[in-house]
Structure 1
Amino acid sequence: MKRLDIKRRPLADTVLATLEPETKEYRELDSSGLYFRVKPDGNKSWQLRYKKADGKWSWLGLGGYPEVSGQLARKKANELLEDVSRGDNPIITKQERKRQELELNNATFEVLAREWLDTKLNAWVHDTMTRNKGALEKHIFPVFGKRLYTTIKPIEWMNHLKGIQQQHGIYEQVNRVRAMCRDIYDYAKVTGRIDYNPLEGLQKYLQQGKKENMAHVSENELPVLLRAINNYPKVDTRIGLQLLAMLFCRPSELRKAKWLEFDLDQGLWNIPEERMKKRREHVVPLSKQAIAILNELKTFETNSEYLFPSRSDKDKPKSDTVFIMALRRMGFQGRQTPHGFRHIASTLLNNRGFDERHIEAALAHVKDGVAGVYNKAQYLEDRKNMMQWYANYLEELADQKIVKFKKAN
């Protein structure tokens, strides 16, 4: 519309949106001291006309339109005119309000959490980062993300986390989320932004639940599980489960394994540091049984660098649910998980008298710091013997050749 057609002030939203430019820049009064400026190129913005302390009139920009709406421009103008009436310099107070607004925006829990996540980029593998970031985005940010982290009270955290547990029945997951949020506040504390952590001690009041990620069968049930795996109809999944049982690596390490990591002649699997939980290169000795089924897997022409490529995209590994679903189909839901093979191996090998250092090295369990300086080939010869004994033992269990358990020599 043309400026001559304006009927009332303050200017209506439809007027602001449709006001036409002219050959020269012009301003239209909106309300007390507030003007709407229209340039020949169509750009529109807000300006405040005010009288300085020396009695001279001056202009102060309040932002462009439509980014700054009419309602927001009037609010800003009223605040600045109040500053003028108190003898304050509106330019300085405007800058201070902007600083405070920026400070508040950067003090939300989500901003703090994402800053904390950035500190984990070199500490977590991609899957861990994706899982933990996703948990925060799903369970925490919708409720607390836009809140100032200094204003969220302990009782609010407890009620929210307990509510998730009761609603979804995910006890261990919620406890992991709580631990992350506690660490996020610890990060704020050590960087001098808070004096106390509102999640301190909260774990005592959350239901702990039963860990499911390490669910595993008993030693007596193991032969039945091994025979079920050996008879699983889908060959690549069967081989994957057999390798998980024999090598007791982390499921993600096997699922994303690439052929170039394997030296079948030497009987070694070299997992690069970027795929390891502790970001340390790891060597896994391969038993004769493991080499045999890897050679069997090699006969399948997949044209992929992965041992277990996705059916829909050969450039990606299989889904992280492939081994979980197979165990469920075999009737082991809630009794055995892919990760649980690690617990089985640790228990059996410790009970058979193998050196704890060799077992921990095989599991890639290393301490942080100087004490955890890690040689990827640590105890390699001892571990080769241990891994071969373990593969033989599992084979005998599956064939029901073991009647009485004996200690290894």
Structure 2
Amino acid sequence: MKRSEIKRRPLADTTLAGLEPESSAYREHDGQSLYFRVKPNGSKSWELRYKKPDGKWSWIGLGSYPEVSGAAARQKASELRADAADGKNPLAAKHARKASDLEAATNTFEALAREWIEIRSPGWAPSTARRNVGALELHVVPVFGKRLYAEILPIEWMEFFRGMERQGIIEQMGRVRRSCKEIYDLARVTGRAVHNPLEGLSRFLQSKPAENYAHVTAKELPALLRAISAYPHAHDLRLGLRLLMLTGVRPSELREARWEEFDLAAGLWAIPTERMKKRRPHIVPLSRQALEALEQLHRMSGAYPLLFPGRNDRTKPRSNMAFNMALRRMGYEGRQTGHGFRHIASTTLREHGFPKDHVEAQLSHAEDGVAGVYNKAIYLEQRRTMMQWYADHLDELEKGNVVQGHFGKVV
């Protein structure tokens, strides 16, 4: 479109987009001292003509087009004309406004959260990092991310967490609340906040003790074992649940396991430091039944690095809810969790006379009395014998050949 074809001002969007360059740069008046500039190379921008305090006329750039639309340019021009009317230098006011916007952008809750993640994440296991960052991005950032953290009131946080309570995600709510409280603590100890708006909220919210991992009673265990064996849906999850029962590892340790960690010939699984909760390597002896389950699983996922590759992205493990969702489909929601298998193993083994130190070593619990300096292969041969007995015992329970008592509290 040529300049001579312009029919109205302010300039229409179609005019702005269609104006053709000429051999020399030119400006077209949009209205109220706002001009649209077109260079010979085709680049376009906005400029405002204004009178400086000394009475001389000058130009101030408002940004390039189409990054700055006509409506945005007119809004900027209006602000700068107001500054000039108040006796301010529009150019100085523009820079001050830009600095203020930049400061506001760095004072958002999301910016503070990113800073907290950068400081804390080097001490996290990869699974912990994914849980913490994922929970913040899923729940908090969409609600408070762009807000100035200093302006978010305690009552807003209270209503936010009560909303998570109403969804029934109590454990997730607790994790998010603890993270957000730490994020505000970072602002407080670095002199950017005086008070923490999350201080004291925990007393008025539901809590779910970390150790409260649901598990079936001894009487219900045989039926659970049979339900797992008969699970008709995802066969990899069926084998995963069986491996959780047979090894006593944490669900995240199994879900994120890689085939390179296993020596099937030796019947050993070496979990590396970075994937362990206590940040120390751990050797898991594998019973005959565990090896059989792994061989079946290898036929399904052996072509991938992970034992349990994700459905959409094979380079990432299954969802952290995968095992619990399978148990839910079996009808065990609120009665059995993936982590609850550790409680069953611990109690059963202790009730049948296996030494506490052997059981705690199998579960990779931090015990001051278990060998001063931790040995990743501590009591390995004793644990190999113990876990083979346990696997045989579970098989007999599933067949109905064992009369069970009650699971007692782990001593």
TM-score range for the pair, normalised by the shorter chain length: 0.7 to 0.9
Counterpart of 1:273 in structure 2 is 273
Residue 37 of structure 1 aligns to a residue in which SS?
Answer: strand
The 5 Å alignment of 1:2-401 reads 2-85=2-85, 88-166=88-166, 168-208=167-207, 214-230=213-229, 238-291=238-291, 293-294=293-294, 303-307=303-307, 323-324=323-324, 326-328=326-328, 330-350=330-350, 356=356, 358-366=358-366, 375-381=375-381, 383-398=383-398, 400-401=401-402
Residue 252 of structure 2 aligns to a residue in which SS?
Answer: helix
> Which is further off, 275-284 or 80-89?
80-89
Conserved 8 A contact 1:47-1:61: yes
Separation in 1, partners of 2:11, 2:232: 74
Aligned CA distance change for structure 1 residues 212 and 17 (closer, same or farther; 3 Å): farther
Aligned CA distance change for structure 1 residues 53 and 358 (closer, same or farther; 3 Å): farther
Separation in 2, partners of 1:296, 1:373: 37
TM-score if structure 1 supplies the norm length? 0.81
Separation in 2, partners of 1:7, 1:231: 77
Q: Deviation per CA, 1:89-116: give whole Å up to 9, x if none.
A: 4333322211110111222222222333
Amino acid at match of 1:177: V
Aligned CA distance change for structure 1 residues 362 and 17 (closer, same or farther; 3 Å): same
TM-score if structure 2 supplies the norm length? 0.81
> Which is further off, 32-41 or 293-302?
293-302
The count of residues paired between Structure 1 and Structure 2 equals 402
Separation in 1, partners of 2:258, 2:382: 25
Cα displacement (A) at 1:391: 3.6
Amino acid at match of 2:185: D
Amino acid at match of 2:178: A
> Which is further off, 271-280 or 174-183?
271-280
Amino acid at match of 2:184: Y
Cα displacement (A) at 1:267: 3.2
Cα displacement (A) at 1:297: 5.7
Residue 140 of structure 1 aligns to a residue in which SS?
Answer: helix
Conserved 8 A contact 1:123-1:278: no
Cα displacement (A) at 1:87: 5.1
Q: CA RMSD, aligned part only? A: 3.8
Q: Which runs of 5+ in 1 are unaligned?
A: none
Conserved 8 A contact 1:213-1:337: no
Q: Deviation per CA, 1:223-274: give whole Å up to 9, x if none.
A: 3323444565787655433321121112232234333322244432101234
Aligned CA distance change for structure 1 residues 95 and 373 (closer, same or farther; 3 Å): farther
Residue 30 of structure 2 aligns to a residue in which SS?
Answer: strand
Residue 122 of structure 2 aligns to a residue in which SS?
Answer: coil
Separation in 1, partners of 2:357, 2:90: 70
Cα displacement (A) at 1:121: 4.0
Amino acid at match of 2:204: Y
Separation in 1, partners of 2:46, 2:93: 17
Aligned CA distance change for structure 1 residues 196 and 349 (closer, same or farther; 3 Å): farther
Conserved 8 A contact 2:219-2:406: no
Conserved 8 A contact 1:302-1:314: no
Separation in 1, partners of 2:309, 2:361: 28
Cα displacement (A) at 1:329: 5.1
Conserved 8 A contact 1:123-1:279: no
Separation in 1, partners of 2:228, 2:65: 66
Separation in 2, partners of 1:295, 1:363: 23
Separation in 1, partners of 2:66, 2:307: 55
Aligned CA distance change for structure 1 residues 373 and 99 (closer, same or farther; 3 Å): farther
> Which is further off, 77-86 or 101-110?
77-86
Cα displacement (A) at 1:292: 5.3
Percentage of matched positions with identical amino acids: 58
Separation in 1, partners of 2:236, 2:51: 80
Separation in 2, partners of 1:67, 1:294: 56
